[in-house]
Amino acid sequence: MRRAQFWLRSLGGVGTAVTALLLGLTGAPSAPAAEAPAAAVIHEAENAVVSQGAVESNHAGFTGSGFVNYNNLSGSYVEWTVDAAQAGTTSLTIRFANGTATSRPMDITVNGAVVATARAFPGTGAWTSWSTTTVNATLKAGANTVRATATTANGGPNVDSLTTAAGGPAPGGRTPVEINGQLKVCGTKLCNQYGKPIQLRGMSTHGLQWYSQCVTSGSLDALATDWNADVLRISMYIQEGGYETNPRKFTDLVHSIIEQATARGMYAIVDWHMLSPGDPNHNLSRAKTFFTEIAQRHVGKNNLLYEIANEPSGVSWSKIKSYAEQLIPVIRQHDPDTPVLVGTRAWSSLGVSEDSDETEIVNNPVKASNIMYTFHFYAASHGTEYLNTLSRAADKLPMFVTEFGTQTASGDGGNNFTRSQQYIDLMASKKISWSNWNYSDDERSGAVFKGGTCDNNGPWTGTGPLKPAGVWVRDRTRTPDDFPTG
């Protein structure tokens, strides 16, 4: 429902800061430390104990002086000694490359105890393409051993390093992902690994081409632990100075933010933020390329959702449906399990903004399983007709509100908190998950942070740095669903 002219923004004075951050997050793969939380320590694999493997340097992109190439057999391993100043929960991030199409799973143990069984290390596309996977474990004060052991005859992937960072989420099912695991669509609801309907609540980034400086270790720590958010929507515009200008840079940036959300136990919506032109078929080829890489790289994760068309507009439902039915099979070739979120007509209003409603989808749904349909609203612009449409649709279709604001459809102006609360109450009663627009310090009232917060790298926690809309939505994000398990 956001028209493009409301959202185009020159980099202006933040251009230098944005460029610096993008270089830190998306440059050559030789700088993983930029993506680790504060106080992270890198332990190079070539300096660890290696059993049935060899230190090599023939594939570019590694850090330090080399990487470990596991022998192709079960039981080969790399073992690091990690010193912890005090006992506590620590994130363990392994940087790896897998140039094959087959996952090379490994058991991760800490002091001899398994903390992750047969953790997937999927193909990364090439031996020079590096990725990361993160688990959380409790370390004792002093010396600890962390071992990554291959569990199949293929051996392990090439391992570059282990990065440790204290203060990660505690193990034992306390983060949203640890509790709920792999999500799936059951009937009209989003369900957890126990088959129970749940509601996710969280925030959407602003366009990464403008506000990636708002997506930092500190801001994501705040979102996960101060806001208690369940989900982060990663909004990557396609046009408007986004993906089409540099596909490699923006794909790498999305990879990085996925890893950061994963490390914090949050779900991540990968938002293909097509806006103008409004026909998603214009970007079908680009979408196939992008989602193929995302699905291949992150197939081992259980915390993703794919939003394949942000806000179609000026195009029929039949064309949106055709787009989805061409793209979803491409994704499913590489990732059969991740739910797919399909944009709806008229800026994801279920057609209401172009004088239609949900019946066009009810009568002609996308031919695919494990999918949901998206709805966007801005409470100061979208009243009873939109609210009632969402309510009716949720009784017949699996719905996910991937974007909403308390302001007008421009993301600016006064807040209508009364109407917003009506939507919040409806979504809670029908277990409709949501993410709010947006987690930035844009000058509009819909950006949650006050101006200058991102360029100054915070402060991020509490209500002090927040605009009124930020205070309001933080309060509602901090009261999560009960996440039933029995």
Active-site residue (options: 240, 307, 358, 403): 403
Sign of torsion over alpha carbons 232, 32, 181, 296: positive
For residue 126, the SS3 value is coil
CA angle 22, 24, 28 (to 5 degrees): 95
Best CA proximity match to 209, nearest among 168, 163, 244, 241: 241
Q: Where are the beta strands (DSSP E) in 172-225?
A: 184-186, 189-191, 201-204
H helices of 264-401, in order, are 284-298, 317-332, 345-348, 359-362, 384-394
**Does the N-terminal peptide bond of residue 436 adopt cis geometry, omega within 30 degrees of 0?**
no
For residue 206, the SS3 value is coil
Active site residue 358: no
* Cβ burial, residue 115 (10 Å; 0-12/13-18/19+): middle
DSSP of 38-88: TT-EEEEGGGSEEESEEEE--STT-STT-EEEE-SSTT-EEEEEEEESSSE
Active-site residue (options: 293, 311, 358, 360): 311
* CB contact at 8 A, 375 and 390: yes
Task: Kindly calculate the radius of gyration of the chain based on its CA atoms and give it in whole angstroms.
Answer: 22
Active site residue 311: yes
For residue 216, the SS3 value is coil
Tokens coding 348 = 């994801």
Best CA proximity match to 265, nearest among 225, 226, 234, 215: 225
Best CA proximity match to 475, nearest among 443, 436, 445: 436
- Return the active site residues: 311, 403
